Amino acid sequence: MLDAYSEMSSPSKNDIIKEILNIMVEKYPHKDIDFLSTIVNYDVNKYDEEKNLAEISLTGYMMFHRNELIKIVNNSIQSTEEN
């Protein structure tokens, strides 16, 4: 039996951007929000081009893609701290 969430689509790209931005603002309070927003927008848009988030179920997004996006954005932010 499929769960009800497998029929629901993933959140909108704008909702995903807002959620991940909020996570990054909490994780990196010393960073400028415009800077974080730029990175989040870039990484989510690039990921969406590759994976087409609109075609993913809510379950798929929550189980796999959400954590992957957070990891990608986090790595992008960390790479700017190394330079």
Higher pLDDT, 47 or 6: 47
Cβ contacts of residue 21 below 8 Å, gap of 6+? 33, 36, 37, 40
Tokens of 7: 């029929």
**Average model confidence (pLDDT) for the chain?**
90
Report the predicted TM-score, pTM, of the whole model to 2 decimal places.
Answer: 0.87
Higher pLDDT, 73 or 10: 73
Cβ contacts of residue 61 below 8 Å, gap of 6+? 10, 11, 53
Tokens of 47: 């990921």
Q: Give residue 27's identity as a one-letter amino acid code.
A: K
